[in-house]
Structure 1
Amino acid sequence: MEYRSDVDISGSRVRRGGGGGRRGGPIAVGGGIGGLILVVLTLLFGGDIGSVLGGGTGQPQQQQEGQQLNCDTAADIEENRDCRWAAYDVALEQYWSNAFTSGFQPISSLELFSGQISTACGTGSSEMGPFYCPGDTSIYIDDVFMGQLLERLGTSQSDPAELYIVGHEYGHHISNLTGDMEKARSGGNDTGPKSGAVRLELQADCYAGVFFKNTIEDPASPIEAVTQDDLNRIVEAARAVGDDHIQQQQGGRVVPESWTHGSSKMRQYWVAKGFESGDPNVCDTFSTDELGE
């Protein structure tokens, strides 16, 4: 993946070590490098943490101060790899702010952390993988542990895979803005291949594909080019985070009735559908039963 070195990324919302205000009591999440518990399997790569940790879609909470990344242009990525996160954030905001005709609000922040962090949805933990909290409209990522999780799931850390994951989380933010997140939650804690939870995750995958298609065609985007190898890495990341693949990796049998994110095939299908069309309107996963399985 190539970056446009002269594009300004100084206005990104990426911070390290901050966090949203806590809503309700903290909920500790167990597990670790040796094994992932049920909550981790529920949220891994793309989860909306609010429904599990007790947050809601209410007004954003006041956030703790984190350290802002000191990045001016995408050229800074060569000397400070952390600046790639700023490029991701700027590219996503540029696309989605133009895709919305009205009512767009960017995420409050993209928080990089290590270990645990306080959020408006409760206490976030590394083992959950990246997540979006609707209570403070922020994305949370332990950038070191994410690489370890990708490797454990049979793929590798790369800029395209990272951007797919961040794009997916930003997709949850878009679903929050449009009301589709609330629609998904109206069914309660249902699971299964056609559940509201799975439809919400597939929509976020589709939105990530749409974003990739459009950002590489935008001469003002910090993302200049995505190669075929990059696309392969994105598809591989989507495969790695399918419910069926995760269940197999954990040594268990595949149980579709327990799915909360969709199978590898479904996730790859919706990323591709979004990328091929470049149109967010094709991402209405709530009005079709053709979910790609």
Structure 2
Amino acid sequence: MSINDNASLDTSRMGGGGGGGGRGRGPVIAGGGGIVGLIIAVILVLTGNGDMLGGGGAPQDTGQGQSDQRLAEKCKTGADAKNDRECLMVLGENSLQDFWSDQPDLAKALQDANQQFRGPDKVVVYTGQTQSQCGTASNQVGPFYCPVDEQIFIDTDFFDIMERQLGAQDGVLAELYVLAHEYGHHIQNVYGVLGEAQKDPQGADSGAVRVELMADCFAGMWIQHATETKDAQGQALLTDISDADVTNAMGAAKSVGDDEIQKKSGGGVQPESWTHGSAKARQAWLLRGMNATSVNQCDTFEVSDPNNI
């Protein structure tokens, strides 16, 4: 994957979480719009782990102000993104923001739902552990999107775990796929479909699986158009995506399929417990997004069996 060395990076929507201890809090309670007491599920890209379901009340101090400045100082150009994973996440966020903010069919769908596009409040990159309004974030639970404060949390050390323990191939696009998947959950949250995961949380054709596969499809749509995205000065952020890059991204999607994770854990495959979809389905929906001409083609709720398309 070729990154434009001269592209300018914008860190204004990035955050850097501080380390530290602390536990996840109770179930996330979201108020507003007259709907009080709605429990929102935190969507985890990899594990389906319920530990991160938590955190109402006042936000915790993550020390992001100091870290925001650190990112601004070290992540200035595409060349920095080549040499630093945190800066790569900045570039990925910039590319995703540029892509999704300029999608006419998404804008129309949001308008029909009385919404308009907004990007995540922050993409928080950290190492080790930090706090979110959905509880404690760490690489043990994987990257996730917190709908309470509309922030994405990415522990950059997790990519090593993904490669070492889950068998994913190392590669820039494979890592950006993870970010693009979480960004997809934000799109779902704005549109109003994210809550379907909580209504029907387990099973091969459950709402949870359909939500996850839709996010994979959205990630594929971004991959399809990633080389068209630009910085604030109109320079391309990414200039080439090779077949090998796509293979690595597909491998990452396979590695986080529920059946693959269950096999690696030494247990049998139990579709009734799935929360994210099979390896085959995750690859299929990612590929579907790479060929999609409309967000409507990513509607996993319009197919009878999302694991076989």
TM interval, short-chain normalised: 0.7 to 0.9
Alignment pair present for 1:272 and 2:287: yes
Q: From the superposition, tell whether residues 261 and 81 of structure 1 become closer, same or farther in structure 2 (CA, over 3 Å).
A: closer
Stretches of structure 2 that go unaligned for 5 or more consecutive residues are: 28-42
Structure 2: distance between partners of 1:162 and 1:114? 15
Q: From the superposition, tell whether residues 81 and 134 of structure 1 become closer, same or farther in structure 2 (CA, over 3 Å).
A: closer
Alignment pair present for 1:215 and 2:191: no
The 5 A counterparts of 1:123-142 are 123-142=136-155
| Aligned-residue offset at 1:282 | 0.7
1:149 aligned residue (154, 162, 172)? 162
Alignment pair present for 1:45 and 2:46: yes
The 5 A counterparts of 1:237-252 are 237-252=252-267
Secondary structure class of the residue paired with 1:154: coil
RMSD over aligned Cα atoms: 2.8
User: Structure 1 counterpart of 2:250, which letter?
Assistant: V
Which residue number in structure 2 is paired with residue 83 of structure 1?
87
Alignment pair present for 1:113 and 2:126: yes
Structure 1: distance between partners of 2:129 and 2:253? 25
Secondary structure class of the residue paired with 2:194: helix
Secondary structure class of the residue paired with 1:110: strand
User: Structure 1 counterpart of 2:6, which letter?
Assistant: D
| Aligned-residue offset at 1:61 | 5.2
The 5 A counterparts of 1:1-293 are 1-18=1-18, 25=25, 43=44, 45=46, 52-55=52-55, 64-66=62-64, 67-68=67-68, 69=71, 70=73, 71-78=75-82, 80-99=84-103, 100-101=106-107, 103-187=116-200, 190-218=201-229, 220-293=235-308
Structure 1: distance between partners of 2:132 and 2:192? 21
| Aligned-residue offset at 1:137 | 0.9
| Aligned-residue offset at 1:197 | 0.4
Moved more, 72-81 or 241-250: 72-81
TM-score, length-normalised on structure 2? 0.79
Provide, for residues 57-97 of structure 1, a one-character-per-residue CA deviation record: whole Å limited to 9, x for no partner: x9x95864421213222133345453211100100000111
Stretches of structure 1 that go unaligned for 5 or more consecutive residues are: 28-41
Secondary structure class of the residue paired with 1:281: helix
Secondary structure class of the residue paired with 2:46: coil
Task: State the number of aligned residues.
Answer: 272
2:277–2:307 Cα contact (<8 Å) kept: no
Q: From the superposition, tell whether residues 79 and 122 of structure 1 become closer, same or farther in structure 2 (CA, over 3 Å).
A: closer
